[in-house]
Structure 1
Amino acid sequence: MRRPSRTPVLAAVAMLAASTVTVSLLAAPAEAGGRKTKVSATLSTTAANPGGIVTLSGWVKDKGKQKRRVVLEQKIASGWRTVDKGRSAKDGAYAFTVPTTWFYSTKLRTRVKPTRKHRGSTSRAHRLSVVPAYTPLGSPDSWETLGRSRDRWNPCRTLTYGINTSRATPDAGTVSTGIHNTMALVSQATGVRFRFKGETASNPLDRRWKRSDPDIIFGWTTDAETKLDLGPTTAARGGYDRTRRARDARGKAIWEALDGGVIYDLTDTATMNATEFQQLTLHEMGHVMGLGHVSAPDQYMTPGVELYSLPLVYQAGDLEGFSKLGLQAGCTRPVRFRGRTSLERVVPFATTLD
């Protein structure tokens, strides 16, 4: 299905120049008059699998024996983000355990904050790659975006999700397990954090959004009860509903997703086993996160029945697409016009053949 046309909106972005000047003026004396500080950093390995133990350790060298505040930072497209904080020992030693919960290839460094007597300092950056423990199928080039402007969620905020199991098939336990497992795999592939908000009485993509609703909702209906067309070859639809104008880490205009989800055809899912239901959910969550269909049958974003023969993990093209839409791609920021955010409703056009 084609998406509705969008009318360009001119946006005026106000920069907090005064605050920036104030911070710079306050920080300048410590840097200019403080004693020199150096910080070293050594990464225990350059590649790891999810859950692997990786440390970044080193020394803070300055004139004086005191515990210094040290920050572990990771480079994403929108800049350096704080990952962890700590203090060095009196002899200057420090060590961080680096998070390896998601797939990424980025640089890490440590930064020592300035004090009244000592300057701040930043260590040399080291690259770490967290890669799958399995060999993904297919080509990394086998991925597409759902929208032309790479519409996506802001990966720097925690997204909530809820499940409406009132009509769930084949049963509430099977679908809840499949959805939770899928959300864990999506988080691992994107770096986006998800929080389960619990059972919800709302349905996804029904244009009856309430402020208390989770960001992402999973629900069930029949073709006769919805205008979203869950015909004989469509087991579910997934995508986002409301979006707003935003800019990505490089300043490019995009549409940021605000809410969305997956609506299942309860007649089709009634005959699925646990594995088939999760395979379907892995596909639809790809759409929810901004991925479109691909022709490669060895990827979860294939629109055909081939997805039901894939192992329960995302493949090479799926993972590459997620890396372009997830945390490694950087934070997004809304564009405001006269103090208001420009919103748009999006018709979910993602389909899956059963």
Structure 2
Amino acid sequence: MNVIVCQLVVAAALTLGAGTAAAAPVPDQTATTVTVNFAAKTVKSGTSVTFAGKVDPASAARTVWLQRNDAGAWRTIGTARTARAAYKVTIKPAKVRTDRYRVVAPGTAKANTGISRTTTVTVRAATVVRGNPKAFAFMYPGRARWNPCTPIGYRVNLTQATSGALTDVKGALARITAVNGLRFAYRGTTNVMPGGRNDTYPGDTQLVVAWGRPGKDTSVIPVGAAGQGGGSTSSVYTRSGTTAWQVVEGYAVLNSTMRFAPGFGAGPKTGLQGTRGQLLMHEIGHAVGLGHPKIKDKWEIMYPTMTRKPAVYGKGDQVGLRALGTGAGCLYARDPSRPS
């Protein structure tokens, strides 16, 4: 991340806080510069945000004020003391909105007032995770899972996809990574169609996401279904030498004749329910190792029916995904507990 540092010298009276005015600078005082090492950010409500920088001159500790612009007026919302010219102020903004901030070093007997550049913070609503933590199931016998210690190479067949599909694929995979730590490596686009005429994966690819017509382009999607996800497994070992099952090749194929709303929002109130993001999270969830839960909880992404809801893995989904992630340990083709 490129960090822009701006130094701005104040050479006139200014409003420092609510109802507080700065006196005009004294000509023989030293000019003050205040830097803030901060780029514009977007954070979730309640997340800590830290403003840091330096004040010059700082032969002795100085107070700095963090100010927020409220309806055109600058309000002091936090303070700190410098140490060796450096300062740090941390806040936890809660309201969902975009605000402007600046850092002010009030004048002293020897130095004028200084003010930093203005920066912004956008606060979004924190994700609400709903559902039943027991509402999950595993897709494959033996609780087969991917090896979490190697990246999963994937390609996307966009031939019949609509605009923004690749962004949604990457977004769905990022949501899995956020829950269980599995790593996915994008290898590019492909003409491979799981269950179609060309279903041989390139050597660097273990997962293919595609769009196709059921019964015409692919045989893996049942007629009338929105999509299908799955894969193949192989016998492997855990670090202790116990036999386990590993997913070695996976797919998620979506019905190209069904056009869902893009993104990961709640989706439309009429027509096809849910979103493309929700469908991708569901079908790739199968490829990763999750099945349809026996407990019918509509807040779970692995619920067998698309519903109108934000595309967020539910509590049950997350329990299942974590059991299939990095916490389960590496998998090995050969028994590592035996001498080679």
What's the TM-score, normalizing by structure 1? 0.52
Tell me if structure 2 keeps the 8 A contact 1:163–1:199: yes
Question: Deviation of residue 186 (structure 1)?
Answer: 0.8
Residue of structure 1 in register with 2:166 after alignment = 176
Equivalent residue number for residue 130 of structure 1: none
Indicate if the aligned counterparts of 1:245 and 1:335 stay in contact, CA closer than 8 A: no
Q: What SS does structure 2 have at the residue aligned with 1:134?
A: coil
- In the TM superposition, 1:98-109 aligns within 5 A as none
- Structure 1 position 150, deviation (Å): 0.3
State the partner residue of 1:212: 203
% identical equivalent positions: 27
Unmatched 5+ stretches in structure 1:
1-48, 54-132, 337-354
**CA deviation vs aligned residue, 1:13-59 (integer Å, no higher than 9, x gap):** xxxxxxxxxxxxxxxxxxxxxxxxxxxxxxxxxxxx9x989xxxxxx
For residues 323 and 263 of structure 1, what CA distance do their matches in structure 2 show? 24
For residues 52 and 257 of structure 1, the distance between their equivalents in structure 2, rounded to whole angstroms, comes to: 38
* CA-CA distance at 1:205 after TM superposition: 4.7
Match of 1:274?
262
Q: Secondary structure at the match of 2:322?
A: helix
Label 1:332 to 1:205 Cα distance change in 2 as closer, same or farther (>3 A).
farther
* Aligned residue number for residue 142 of structure 2: 149
Instruction: Tell me what 1:320 maps to.
Output: 319
What pairs up with 1:54-203 in 2 under 5 angstroms?
134-168=127-161, 171=162, 173-203=163-193
Match of 1:255 in 2: 245
3-state SS, counterpart of residue 258 of structure 1: strand
Q: What does residue range 236-255 of structure 1 map to in structure 2 within 5 Å?
A: 236-241=227-232, 243-249=233-239, 251-255=241-245
Distance 1:219 1:211 in 2: 15
- Cα deviation for residue 209 of structure 1 reads 2.4
Kindly indicate whether the alpha-carbon contact (under 8 Å) linking 2:194 and 2:220 is maintained by their aligned counterparts in 1. Answer: no
**Which of structures 1 and 2 has the larger relative contact order (alpha carbons within 8 angstroms, sep 6+)?**
1
Looking at secondary structure, tell me which structure has more helix per residue.
1
Whether the 8 Å CA contact 1:260–1:288 is kept in 2: the answer is yes
Runs of 4+ in 1 over 3 A off after TM superposition: 205-208, 248-252
Q: Is the 8 A contact 1:205 1:260 kept in 2?
A: no
Tell me the secondary structure at the aligned position of residue 215 of structure 2. Answer: helix
Residue type of the alignment partner of 2:260: M
Larger Rg: 2
SS in 1 for 2:257: helix
2:301 equivalent to 1:300: yes
Give the RMSD, CA atoms, in angstroms. 2.8
Structure 2 alignment gaps of length 5 or more: 1-44, 50-125, 264-274, 336-340
Aligned counterpart for 1:223 among listed residues 196, 214, 229: 214
1:72-101 deviations in Å (ceiling 9; x for gaps): xxxxxxxxxxxxxxxxxxxxxxxxxxxxxx
Q: CA deviation at 1:282?
A: 0.8
